[in-house]
């Protein structure tokens, strides 16, 4: 899974497939149900850490479902389309509401699942509907109101496979949108350690504070375990700076939580998702 996740580390998947059509999904869902095989839905793996011992079951990548279409003030995108590509399409069409999501390196499915956001904008701000299939193979169209959501959380979304999403946007002039997008991309390059593999912010923002501020205050910037390190550029990121094992990264996550708890009494909540088995 090192090849399929942005941390660039992780053990093997037992089976890895790329379903594309609804027929493909129906087939794999039926197989998983009848044979009792666990299914894992993977977008771009930019929020996932896979244990060194790998994972059983079937990993279904959405990479081959990547169509995007813009019509009037709407964009529809398949789950495996890059969120950033959707933002670019919106900006080029003079549509506003997603420009601040520029540069988030996930897929549309992953962005909906996590309610990804940045600079005060969230995926659900402009989401209109999602086309899904449940694990019994039943298709459905869910409107935004059917999916209670909050900061990096969507109630009940784990019961579905997201096939596509529709976004409803506003009109704005192309030049101001382009400027906004470029400024966001510039800020990301300036503030985030994009030169190293990572999965973005490790922890959710605690109420009224920033995880990176607490980590910094605890003196943990630059702390390393094996090949994993708290980024010197952005203390909210763990980077794989030198062939980190997933266990290095997991241990570092736990060490950060422990030290912040001891120093500030605050329990950091991990935003990143751990899959598979970790060596002890
Ligand atoms: C450098 C960097 C910067 C980042 N900056 C931000 C940021 O500013 N804001 C932010 O919110 N996040 C950020 N992230 C984290 C990450 O990009 C987002 O959480 C993104 O939404 C994850 O999308 P993904 O396609 O990679 O999902 P994955 O990591 O592949 O999966 C995440 C979860 O979504 C589920 N999932 C994915 N696709 C589907 C689907 N089609 N159907 C059902 N479930 C699905 C998976 O099963 C998993 O549970 C950053 C990451 C990196 C590496």
What CATH number has the domain spanning 211-275? 3.90.78.10
Which tokens sit at 156?
Answer: 């009940």
Is 201 an annotated catalytic residue? yes
Residue spans per domain, the chain: 2-61, 68-190, 211-275
**Interval between CA 197 and ligand 1 midpoint (Å):** 14
For ligand 1, atom 36, name the residue with the nearest CA.
110
CATH T-level assignment (fold) for domain 68-190: 3.30.465
Contact 97, 126 (CB under 8 A): yes
Torsion of the alpha carbons at 165, 166, 172 and 174, rounded to the nearest 10: 50
Task: Give the rounded distance of the alpha carbon of 201 from its chain centre.
Answer: 10
**Interval between CA 115 and ligand 1 midpoint (Å):** 9
Is 164 an annotated catalytic residue? no
Contact 104, 111 (CB under 8 A): yes
Minimum-distance ligand 1 atom for the alpha carbon of 107: 25
Q: Is 275 in the pocket of ligand 1 (CB under 6 A)?
A: no
State the DSSP code for 177: H
The span from the CA of 269 to the CA of 206, in Å, is 8
Out of 3.30.565.10, 3.40.190.10, 1.10.3720.10, 3.30.43.10, select the CATH number for domain 2-61: 3.30.43.10
For ligand 1, atom 52, name the residue with the nearest CA.
200
Which tokens sit at 188?
Answer: 């990301």
The span from the CA of 120 to the CA of 49, in Å, is 26
The span from the CA of 269 to the CA of 204, in Å, is 6
Q: Is 6 in the pocket of ligand 1 (CB under 6 A)?
A: yes
What is the per-residue pLDDT for 212? 96
The span from the CA of 231 to the CA of 192, in Å, is 9
Is 198 an annotated catalytic residue? no
What is the per-residue pLDDT for 44? 98
State which residues of the chain have pLDDT below 70: none
Contact 72, 91 (CB under 8 A): no
Q: Is 196 in the pocket of ligand 1 (CB under 6 A)?
A: no
């Amino acid at each position: 899974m090192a090849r399929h996740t942005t941390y660039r580390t992780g053990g093997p998947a037992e089976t890895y497939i790329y379903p594309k059509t609804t027929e493909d999904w129906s087939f794999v869902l039926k197989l998983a149900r009848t044979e009792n095989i666990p299914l894992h839905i993977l977008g771009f793996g930019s929020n996932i850490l896979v244990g060194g011992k790998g994972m059983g079951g079937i990993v279904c990548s959405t990479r081959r479902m990547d169509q995007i279409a813009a019509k009037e003030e709407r964009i529809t995108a398949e789950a495996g389309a890059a969120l950033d590509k959707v933002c670019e399409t919106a900006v080029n069409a003079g549509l506003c509401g997603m420009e601040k999501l520029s540069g988030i390196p996930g897929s549309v499915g992953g962005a909906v699942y996590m309610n990804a956001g940045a600079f005060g904008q969230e995926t659900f701000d402009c989401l209109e509907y999602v086309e899904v299939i449940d694990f019994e193979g039943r298709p459905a169209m869910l409107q935004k109101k059917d999916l209670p959501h909050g900061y990096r959380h969507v109630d009940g979304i784990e019961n579905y496979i997201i096939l596509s999403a529709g976004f409803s946007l506003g009109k704005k002039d192309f030049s101001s949108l382009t400027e906004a997008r470029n400024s966001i991309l510039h800020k990301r390059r300036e503030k985030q350690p994009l030169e190293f593999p990572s999965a973005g912010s490790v922890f959710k923002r605690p109420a009224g504070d920033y995880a990176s501020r607490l980590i910094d205050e605890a003196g943990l910037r630059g702390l390393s375990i094996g090949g994993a390190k708290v980024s010197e550029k952005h203390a909210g990121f763990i980077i794989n700076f030198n062939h980190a094992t997933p266990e290095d990264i997991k241990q570092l996550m736990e060490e950060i939580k422990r030290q912040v708890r001891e120093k500030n009494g605050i329990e950091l909540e991990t935003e990143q998702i751990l899959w598979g088995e970790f060596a002890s």
